[in-house]
A and B are shown apart, each in its own frame.
Chain A
Amino acid sequence: MGHLRGKLLPPALAIVFSMLLCGVALVISGANPLSAFGAMVTQVGKGSTLVDIVNSTGIYYIAALAVAIGFQMNLFNIGVEGQYRVAAVIAAVVGGSIALPPGIHTLVIIVVAALAGAAWAAIPAILKVTRGVNEVISTIMMNGLAIGLSAYLIRRDVFGELRGNNIRTAEIPESGWMPGISFGGGGTMFGFIFVAIALGVGYWVMMNKTRFGFELRASGESSTAASAGGVNAKKMVLVSMLLSGAIAGLISLPELLGRDHTFSLNFTAGIGFSGIAIALLGRNHPGGIAFGALLWAFLDKSGLALDNVGVPREIVTIMQGSIVLSVVVAYEVVRRFELAAEQRRVGRELGTVGGAA
């Protein structure tokens, strides 16, 4: 029970602290924090917000999983941002240019997206393994190039088509869509959410039950001990980067298969960076990440209500930042507190068993 407390107390503390902080900021700017937070909470019940939160949670969840795989072995894959962009545009191009029976079509798009993400991640991975190039730099650079590539691919004279002032890839025919669950006015939940859940379960099983997960964790913990234990460091870098890239490739599929059916200028960017924060918030644990993704999505979507009550929406970003920071601080504080308690306990035991020692 104390175990559980140690896990749940910190986030709770952190959220309270962040709300206080933002409350103060709101008061300074002359707004009423209670009405602001109230608006955010009631927003959940309005229109399709609840479903939007669920959808967005799924997307963030996939992104954070992709990041977490790299983190597990101390690989800092900042490149998720670029990987999912490249995967999205390639999957959209391929999906829009083939005709296959329903189901198979969708499956092909998913596979293509995963492969494209993995391929984009393979470049920094190979550079790291063969040339020792630091993955932080190379993935930052690859993110830039990803935008270039996607811009090139949707050029009118390449795969793009003009639509008003927008430009986009050919629409994926209905056989390639993934049906969602419609709640009428409440919006439509992406079918891909279930894939996200499956990915989370798969991630948990992989990390905790398989040899590969063991090797990944061992490499992250101590690359020297892992190599003495027969773990091939280069192979692990390669495989985990590819895996991370493949999962990153799926990030945009909920929207692509469930709503947009095309890659256009309206592409949702920035999920890869949110994924970093969420993975860290969830401490690379599939459950923790789910919580982090949900929190993130809630703040994002219900934050839209702030406009209605005349409160600057930036408060949400501040809240996200302060939650990330205060959650980890809270974990540390609670840890220290428990350590001290343990020390006192030992002291007491020494007092009673002192004679025997």
Chain B
Amino acid sequence: ACAKDSGGGSNNGSAGTGAACEFAEAPSAPATSNTSAANGDKVDASALKIGLAYDIGGRGDASFNDSAAAGLDKAIADMGVKKENTRELSAAPNEDESAKQTRLRQLASEGFNPIIGVGFAYAESLKVVAPEFPNVKFGLVDSAVEGATNVTPLLFAEQEGSFLAGVIAAYQSKKCHVGFVGGVEIPLIQKFEAGYVQGATTAAPKVKVEKKYITPAGDFTGFQDAPKGQEAAKGQIDKGADVIYQAAGASGKGIFSAAKQANALAIGVDSDQYNQATVADTKDVIVSSMLKRVDVAVYNFVKAVAKNDLASLPKVFDLKVNGVGYSTSGGKIDAKLQGILEGYKAQIIEGKIQVKDKP
């Protein structure tokens, strides 16, 4: 008898059995969550011409390029930047350094200032181009350039946000078994892995953590192969994991799908994926997302340039400055868990917990 499979969960992983975790004693939440909210002083940036050089994917990638774009949009809305005074260019797959340099030069020589390189791929080209335009203020997401005084690094503590994702995973797992699927095994994504693993094991010392990258460094198809992401996640679920954290770009879709098919849960990355249109059909499995606020960084950078106060920018956008964090959309994080998370967050901010950035 051949029967149509029901909407999902008919073949939920019967493999590993396990019980929920025994948790380490969680730190208590601080009395007030001191989020250093954007202080409300009004800044006028209408004189600025802003250029953005995206990494592969560009605006609309539903990932960190998009996040940067959101920062720009906010700057336009809040600070009076004129839309026509902005230009956004994006990189193509497999392009060489000189294409990136040309892109930056194009922006600089047409008078854009500041210019933001979105993605560490622009580090080498900025090293060359920035000195050619000493009066232009460059921002660089995800990397620093040694010796170039006019390049402001916009770095994130992804591992800190991922630590909290690990805590969430441990608390959400019914079998004390969680998973991580990375897109491409590069240092940036390894930061996510390292924080996540540390977070999960700190919360529940006996938790089992599965780890898998879709492709190794150099093969960037791992960020856009949802079918493979799905199979990797399925493998982890079949082994018994029931909460999967993904840092796999467009492949993340497949991970959510695998979770949905097997009645497992997933944690999103970069932006609040629960509200993202491209993964709307699987949003009910998304417990939370680790937020990496590229938008905040871009916005603050523009603001700092407008105020001519670059020194005010944080060295690293971390938990303390809300550069990274977690989302609660979807309502799966109850008040108790939120309290625990705030507790860990406070400990990290205070430095009581040092989060590793390498696995």
Contacts and interface: CB of A to CB of B under 8 A. Distances in A.
Interface of A: 46-49, 52, 55-56, 85, 147-148, 150-152, 154, 156, 162-167, 185, 187, 255, 259-260, 264-270, 300-301, 304-305, 307-308, 313
Given A48-B101, A147-B215, 4 more contacts: A147-B218, A265-B186, A265-B218, A268-B97
B120 interface: yes
B222 to A, nearest CB: 11
Nearest to B122: A266
B188 A301 contact: no
A48 B95 contact: no
A166 B127 CA distance: 14
Given A151-B216, A154-B217, A165-B120, A47 B98 contact: no
A162 B187 contact: yes
B172 interface: no
A295 B188 CA distance: 36
Contact of A164 (B89, B94, B97, B144): B144
Nearest 6 A/B pairs, CB to CB: A151-B216, A270-B94, A268-B96, A164-B143, A165-B120, A165-B188
B106 A304 contact: yes
A289 B256 CA distance: 47
Nearest to A144: B219
Interface of B: 87, 89-90, 92-99, 101-103, 105-106, 109-110, 120-121, 123-124, 132, 142-144, 185-188, 191, 215-219, 358
A159 to B, nearest CB: 13
Given A56-B96, A166-B143, A304 B216 contact: no
A234 B92 CA distance: 41
Contacts of B188: 165
B186 A48 contact: no
Contact of B95 (A147, A185, A268): A268
A52 B102 contact: yes
A301 B102 contact: yes
Contacts of A304: 99, 102-103, 106
Contact of B102 (A47, A148, A269): A47
B98 A165 contact: no
Among the interface residues B93, B96, B102, B132, which one has the most CB atoms of the partner chain A within 10 A?
B96
Contacts, number: 98
Contacts of B187: 162, 165-167
A266 B216 CA distance: 14
Contacts of B105: 47-48
Contacts of A56: 96, 98
B106 A308 contact: yes
B218 A300 contact: no
Given A165-B186, A265-B218, A304-B103, A260 B109 contact: no
Contacts of A259: 97
Contacts of A148: 216
Nearest to B107: A308
A56 B92 CA distance: 16
Nearest to A300: B99
Among the interface residues A48, A150, A305, which one has the most CB atoms of the partner chain B within 10 A?
A48
26 contacts: A47-B106, A56-B96, A56-B98, A85-B218, A147-B218, A148-B216, A151-B185, A152-B216, A154-B218, A164-B143, A166-B143, A166-B187, A167-B186, A255-B96, A264-B124, A265-B121, A267-B218, A300-B95, A301-B98, A301-B102, A304-B99, A304-B103, A305-B106, A307-B89, A308-B110, A313-B92
B258 to A, nearest CB: 24
A268 B144 CA distance: 21
A85 B215 CA distance: 16
Nearest to A151: B216
B174 to A, nearest CB: 35
